[in-house]
């Protein structure tokens, strides 16, 4: 496989570097790697790394011949993506300031080449759940977004971090007794785009004051943004080291003892280290209100104090221990919101995500559905349903594959305390050795096609779920311990592309014929809830119907219920925005059925009850449910298809 990499400014750095290093170590010489560089950065690459200069015919050829392109910024040069190749865009930070199309007043045509590149993307990474929709909207990107954390940040949690810190500090001449203050100001659009000869960066820190108050025990590491082409001349004897050209900022995070920034996305990465953060926001109103605008209120969210003068900044540095203690709770909340996926395993998650796709992309022939099903189910050939045959079993393989356009969500974030197990409930083992999740995936792929898009919402012990099914898409609910299914479903729906969404509770064990029963409603894009009229238990979600046969009530408190909801549901493309609105209005403790029921009552949402009583479906809440699932559904492989090929 041929892989071509690009990191902003042609550097050997950031997410592409982390992925390259792991891929090279994992697969040795199995892949051919080529990096785009510039004349200024070519010497920074290790001698064994093949490079071509950005913008040259050789660079275009490397991009067009690649099976996989990995970049952390838009590749704004002419090239044509080869059919069958894949393009992973990692991007390079959690945005506070507005980016791309969310920026108002940029120079005319400044996004033309970038937008052409966005159209090439196949996959986009998001560092956290708070960022996903902002990236999608800013770029106008409609493809899959994967919440994985950033590969570049794995080093910050690595056992090697102390070794790297010592090496970088020694290389920069920082003594063991010195406090290294990393200063990472972002760029100012008006200065960079002015073109009138003014400096592209204003240095607002009073260095004389810095030296006088803090002495030789402190050194300032200046890291300018990549958009700032010029470099600030350092006066002789000033306590400043310009590290703007250091190849990888993650090394500097480890070398530093605290960070000073303003509106830069470096704040989100540095917070992983747990070291203090100060915000020198001397032009806050101008930058926020006139230049860029923010996605959220920095003053409310910042994990450290906002200071507006150089004097305040120097005093905060001098009194950093007290400042840190004062902002400890805010810092913890900040990390929960923006660093929840930074567990040191992002590189592995991303490679596990892209390698199967990249491998499939270079195949010369597409496998048959029988072959794909064999891969998914360990070689088992599926048999007809044991209870009764669905009228849709005569569907041709091509018809089945067309169902793969259905977006599917599995709600797998909960803790499952009622079942009394340590692992997430979807990983509960059935008698046949498969987990609930594995059985769900095999059923979905058998009925809807091996390529069906499946997103799992994870929370409790998310790493275990992601390891068990690394080929899925993932959305993370950081509030899994204090929220119910309404918020997990809300998070999932907000990450989906246009179109309807089928979703399953993560604890439902079902005969795949249930999905066959729902196929005509999926084809008609009709919102529905699958129900079982054989039982109406007090502790389960029940339903009633209106005069037209649509659901009127849907909750555990329904009186005179006609049956139970089984945890398999669908919202149509037309109804999705309304459901999102009502899920957002739900309390944290509400089940998603509350959002459906209130949307029905207040907006006239029309939701069908799809009766699947002829087949088995069990929601595993208690040990008795697990026994019933094993008894009713046995230990056999999904048995829904008489003949696939």
pLDDT above 50 for 505: yes
In 572-637 the beta strands, taken as DSSP E runs, fall at: 608-611, 617-619
Mean pLDDT check: name the lowest of 187-196, 231-240, 620-629.
187-196
Residues pairing with 181 in the sheet = 220, 258
Q: What is the pLDDT of residue 463?
A: 82
Query: For the purposes of burial, counting CB atoms within 10 Å of the CB of 588, is it exposed (0-12), middle (13-18) or buried (19 or more)?
Result: exposed
Higher pLDDT, residue 486 or 198: 486
Token digits for 607? Answer: 């939701």
Please tell me the pTM assigned to this model. Answer: 0.57
* Domain match, 210 and 336 both: yes
pLDDT confidence of 375, banded at 50, 70, 90?
very low
Q: What is the pLDDT of residue 635?
A: 47
Token digits for 72? Answer: 């952390």
Q: What is the pLDDT of residue 232?
A: 59
- Which of 78-92, 404-418, 607-621 is the most confident on average? 78-92
Mean pLDDT on 64-74: 97
Q: What is the pLDDT of residue 369?
A: 25
Secondary structure, 3-state, 503-571: EEECCEEECCHHHHHHHHHHHCCCCEEEEECCCCCCCCCEEEECCCCEEEEEECCCCCCCEEEEEEEEE
Q: What is the CATH number of the domain that holds 191?
A: 3.40.50.12580
* Domain match, 64 and 185 both: no
Mean pLDDT on 479-493: 89
φ, ψ of residue 259 to 5 degrees: the values are -120, 140
pLDDT above 90 for 503: yes
Token digits for 429? Answer: 């083992």
pLDDT above 80 for 379: no
* 8 A C-beta contact, residue 488 and residue 413: yes
**pLDDT 10s digits, 281-309:** 998 988 888 777 899 899 999 999 999 99
* Domain match, 216 and 137 both: no
pLDDT confidence of 111, banded at 50, 70, 90?
confident
* Domain match, 333 and 420 both: no
Residue 596 is assigned to a structural domain of this protein: yes
Q: What is the CATH number of the domain that holds 627?
A: 3.90.550.10
State the number of CA atoms in the 13 A half-sphere of 339 facing the CB.
24
pLDDT confidence of 226, banded at 50, 70, 90?
low
For CA atoms 335, 340, 345, 346, the dihedral sign is negative
What CA–CA distance (Å, rounded) separates 403 from 185? Answer: 49
- Encode burial over 364-378: b for 16+ CB neighbours within 10 A, e otherwise: eeeeebbebbbebbe
pLDDT above 70 for 190: no
**pLDDT 10s digits, 515-556:** 988 888 898 899 999 998 887 877 789 999 988 889 999 998
Higher pLDDT, residue 460 or 12: 12
* Domain match, 166 and 144 both: no
pLDDT confidence of 228, banded at 50, 70, 90?
low
Higher pLDDT, residue 247 or 501: 501
Residues 6+ positions from 136 with CB-CB distance below 8 Å: 124, 142, 145, 495
* Domain match, 447 and 592 both: yes
Higher pLDDT, residue 450 or 197: 450
- Across the chain, how many H-helices and E-strands are there? 24, 24
* Domain match, 426 and 515 both: yes
CA 493 to chain centre: 14
The domain boundary, picked from 321, 341, 361, lies at 341
Q: What is the pLDDT of residue 419?
A: 66
Residue 445 is assigned to a structural domain of this protein: yes
Nearest to 494 by CA among 151, 122, 147: 147
pLDDT above 70 for 558: yes
**pLDDT 10s digits, 164-186:** 999 999 999 999 999 999 999 88
Percent of the chain surpassing pLDDT 70: 86
Give the strand pairing for 32-37 and 50-53: parallel
* 8 A C-beta contact, residue 280 and residue 267: no
Mean pLDDT on 340-355: 89
Residue 102 is assigned to a structural domain of this protein: yes
Mean pLDDT on 212-226: 89
The domain boundary, picked from 320, 341, 362, lies at 341
Q: What is the CATH number of the domain that holds 130?
A: 3.40.50.11820
Residues 6+ positions from 457 with CB-CB distance below 8 Å: 409, 410, 411, 412, 413, 474, 475, 476, 477, 488, 489, 491, 492
Mean pLDDT on 9-34: 89
Give the strand pairing for 617-619 and 508-510: antiparallel
Residues 6+ positions from 231 with CB-CB distance below 8 Å: 224, 242, 244
pLDDT confidence of 227, banded at 50, 70, 90?
low
Mean pLDDT on 95-106: 85
* Domain match, 274 and 413 both: no
Residue 226 is assigned to a structural domain of this protein: yes
* Domain match, 214 and 229 both: yes
How many distinct structural domains can be found in the chain? 3
Residue 359 is assigned to a structural domain of this protein: no
The domain boundary, picked from 118, 149, 180, lies at 149
pLDDT confidence of 418, banded at 50, 70, 90?
low
Residue 473 is assigned to a structural domain of this protein: yes
pLDDT above 70 for 231: no
Q: What is the pLDDT of residue 162?
A: 95
φ, ψ of residue 598 to 5 degrees: the values are -70, -35
Round the average pLDDT of the chain to a whole number and report it.
84
Mean pLDDT check: name the lowest of 306-315, 344-353, 361-370.
361-370
Mean pLDDT on 223-245: 73
* Domain match, 578 and 604 both: yes
pLDDT above 60 for 637: no
* Domain match, 309 and 170 both: yes
pLDDT confidence of 386, banded at 50, 70, 90?
very low
* Domain match, 562 and 426 both: yes
pLDDT confidence of 195, banded at 50, 70, 90?
low
* 3-state SS, residue 218: strand
Query: For the purposes of burial, counting CB atoms within 10 Å of the CB of 407, is it exposed (0-12), middle (13-18) or buried (19 or more)?
Result: buried
φ, ψ of residue 374 to 5 degrees: the values are -65, -40
Residue 125 is assigned to a structural domain of this protein: yes
Higher pLDDT, residue 417 or 591: 591
- Which of 91-95, 236-240, 247-251 is the most confident on average? 91-95
pLDDT confidence of 395, banded at 50, 70, 90?
very low
Residues 6+ positions from 427 with CB-CB distance below 8 Å: 435, 436, 437, 464, 465, 468
Residues 6+ positions from 86 with CB-CB distance below 8 Å: 67, 68, 69, 122, 123, 354, 357, 358, 361
pLDDT above 70 for 638: no
According to DSSP, residue 97 is labeled: B
Q: What is the pLDDT of residue 188?
A: 75
Q: How many residues does the chain have?
A: 645
Domain extent for 332: 154-341
pLDDT above 60 for 467: yes
Mean pLDDT check: name the lowest of 16-30, 172-186, 245-259, 392-406.
392-406
Q: What is the pLDDT of residue 212?
A: 94
Higher pLDDT, residue 411 or 107: 411
Q: What is the pLDDT of residue 331?
A: 94
Mean pLDDT on 130-136: 90
Residue 360 is assigned to a structural domain of this protein: no
φ, ψ of residue 49 to 5 degrees: the values are -90, 125
Mean pLDDT on 246-273: 94
* 3-state SS, residue 7: coil
């Amino acid at each position: 496989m041929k892989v071509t990499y690009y990191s902003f400014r042609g550097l050997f750095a950031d997410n592409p570097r982390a992925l390259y290093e792991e891929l090279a170590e994992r697969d040795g010489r199995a892949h051919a790697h080529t990096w785009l560089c510039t004349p200024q950065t070519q010497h920074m690459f290790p001698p064994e790394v093949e490079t071509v200069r950005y913008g040259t015919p050789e660079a275009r050829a490397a991009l067009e011949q690649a099976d996989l392109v990995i970049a952390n910024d838009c590749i704004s040069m002419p090239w044509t993506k080869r059919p069958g190749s894949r393009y992973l865009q990692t991007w390079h930070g959690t945005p506070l300031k507005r980016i791309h199309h969310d920026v108002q007043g940029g120079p005319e045509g400044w996004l033309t080449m970038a937008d052409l590149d966005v159209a090439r993307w196949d996959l986009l990474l998001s560092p956290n759940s708070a960022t996903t929709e902002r990236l999608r909207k800013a770029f106008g990107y409609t493809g899959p977004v994967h919440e994985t954390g950033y590969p570049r940040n794995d080093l910050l949690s690595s056992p090697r971090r102390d070794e790297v810190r010592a090496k970088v500090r020694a290389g920069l001449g920082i003594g063991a007794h010195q406090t290294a203050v990393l200063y990472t100001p972002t760029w100012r659009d008006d200065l960079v785009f002015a073109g009138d000869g003014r400096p592209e960066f204003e240095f607002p820190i009073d260095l004389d004051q810095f030296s006088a108050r803090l002495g030789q025990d402190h050194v300032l590491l200046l890291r300018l943004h990549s958009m700032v082409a010029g470099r600030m001349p350092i006066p002789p004897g000033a306590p400043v080291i310009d590290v703007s050209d250091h190849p990888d900022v993650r090394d500097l995070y480890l070398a530093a003892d605290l960070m000073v920034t303003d509106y830069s996305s470096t704040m989100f990465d540095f917070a992983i280290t747990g070291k203090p953060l100060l915000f020198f926001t001397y032009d806050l109103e101008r930058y926020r209100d006139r230049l860029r605008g923010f996605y959220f209120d920095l003053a409310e969210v910042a994990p450290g104090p906002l200071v507006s003068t150089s004097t305040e900044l120097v005093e905060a540095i001098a009194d950093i221990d007290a400042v840190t203690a004062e902002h400890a709770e805010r810092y913890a909340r900040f990390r929960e919101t923006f660093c929840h996926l930074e567990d040191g395993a992002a590189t592995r998650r991303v490679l596990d995500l892209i390698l199967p796709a990249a491998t499939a992309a270079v195949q010369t022939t597409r496998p048959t559905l029988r072959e794909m099903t064999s891969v998914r189910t360990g070689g088992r050939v599926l048999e007809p349903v044991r209870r009764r045959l669905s009228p849709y079993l005569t569907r041709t393989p091509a018809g089945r594959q067309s169902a793969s356009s259905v977006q599917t969500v599995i709600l797998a974030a909960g803790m499952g305390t009622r079942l009394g197990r340590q692992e997430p409930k979807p990983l509960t083992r059935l008698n046949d050795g498969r987990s609930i999740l594995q059985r769900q995936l095999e059923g979905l792929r058998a009925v809807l096609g091996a390529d069906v898009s499946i997103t799992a919402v994870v929370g409790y012990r998310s790493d275990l779920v992601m390891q068990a099914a690394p080929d899925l898409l993932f959305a993370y609910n950081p509030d899994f311990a204090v929220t119910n299914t309404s918020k997990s479903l809300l998070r999932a729906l907000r990450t989906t592309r246009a179109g309807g969404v089928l979703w399953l509770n993560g604890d439902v064990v079902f005969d795949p014929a249930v999905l066959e029963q729902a196929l005509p409603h999926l084809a008609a894009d009709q919102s529905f809830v699958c129900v079982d009229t054989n039982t109406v238990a007090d502790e389960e979600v029940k339903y009633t119907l209106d005069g037209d046969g649509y659901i009127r009530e849907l909750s555990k408190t329904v009186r005179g219920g006609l049956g139970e909801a089984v945890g398999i549901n669908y919202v149509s493309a037309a109804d999705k925005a309304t459901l999102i609105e009502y899920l957002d209005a739900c309390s944290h403790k509400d089940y998603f059925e509350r959002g459906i029921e209130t949307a029905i009552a207040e907006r006239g949402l029309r939701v069908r009850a799809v009766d699947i009583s002829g087949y088995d479906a069990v929601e595993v809440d208690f040990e008795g449910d697990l026994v019933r699932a094993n008894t009713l559904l046995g230990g056999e492989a999904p048995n829904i298809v008489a003949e696939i090929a």
